Structure 1
């Protein structure tokens, strides 16, 4: 996530369509379709973009990027895109999908499943934190304190849980 923030090599706009996982060769897997979840790859067209031509108004801000991460985690958990989890009441004006549409659908899915214990601890914590960050107007991945909270509240718990599930409890 932090590596997917704007750099001279990555445009500011990215989405779940830009991240791919290859099939794992042997080894353990959490699903039937043995996917190598430890090595995600970016699929991006690398175009030269003039700095002056960049439009800031259409670019997602960092709170939107964190919301996108939360939604991607939800999609991973359900195995379905957020669009398939939406209900008619989630849609915005003119029955159009908006960021608020995705936030509402994600919030409803979390509330429906969390009380039943259907999420792992790390997933519910990470997804909930990402949804909350969307409402933070000062969310900025260039702010070291904010980046640290993403690391502590989202990335570290997910990585620890993944390692525990894939490799068993660590011996210390």
Structure 2
């Protein structure tokens, strides 16, 4: 249930924060901080984004990091959902074919790992969760625009990522949203 809550909250928060300075285009799971109760247990619905405001040149450099990724923010959500599933950074799943020319991590290493893990996800996750992750990693939404500034893209993202995660949350909590 906790994973369903995290996943749904992350996906819906992306829609709310995409055009604010609070969520950078190159966010990662390490930018998310979870609150804990007095017993030390994570409160799934209470987490925050740590934002360090950066210069325009740093933002531009981050945006060029993975040119083949259609939407960095959506890709980051897919990576975060993979990391929730596996309980570890996706870089811990690297294989030799994920490395660059000098057998070192490069700008495509995380992308290659994410594509591989997302395609395997349906064998141990719900169909809703697996398809939501796959759509985020591949940015496969049957649209021509892949930016949240486009109303159609936001609507399709909501229907194909947020709604399936809501359904999983509803099944896990026995609540209808």
TM-score, structure 1 normalization? 0.74
CA gap 1:103/1:59 in 2 versus in 1, 3 angstroms = closer
Q: 1:25 to 1:126 in 2, by over 3 A?
A: farther
Does 2:144 match 1:142? no
CA distance in 2 between partners of 1:97 and 1:89 (Å):
10
Q: Which region of structure 1 is more displaced relative to structure 2, 86-95 or 33-42?
A: 33-42
Of the three residues 18, 34, 37, the one matched with 1:21 is: 34
Q: Relative contact order (C-alpha < 8 Å, sep 6+): which is higher? A: 2
Other structure's SS at 2:111 match:
helix
Pick the structure with greater CA Rg: 1
Equivalent of residue 43 in structure 1, options 32, 38, 50: 50
**Over aligned residues, Cα RMSD in angstroms?**
3.0
What number of residue pairs does the alignment pair up? Answer: 157
Tell me if structure 2 keeps the 8 A contact 1:66–1:134. Answer: no
Structure 1 residue 68: deviation in Å? 1.1
Distance 1:94 1:7, change over 3 A: same
Q: CA offset at residue 17 of structure 1? A: 1.6
Q: List runs of 5+ in structure 1 lacking aligned partners.
A: 27-32
Q: How does 1:1-172 map to 2 (within 5 A)?
A: 1-24=14-37, 34-45=41-52, 47=53, 54-55=56-57, 57-60=60-63, 63-114=71-122, 117-133=123-139, 138-165=145-172, 167-170=173-176
Contact 2:119–2:134 at 8 Å: present in 1 too?
no
Closer/same/farther in 2, CA of residues 11 and 64 from structure 1, 3 Å limit: closer
The answer to whether the 8 Å contact 1:19/1:40 transfers is yes
SS at match of 1:36: strand
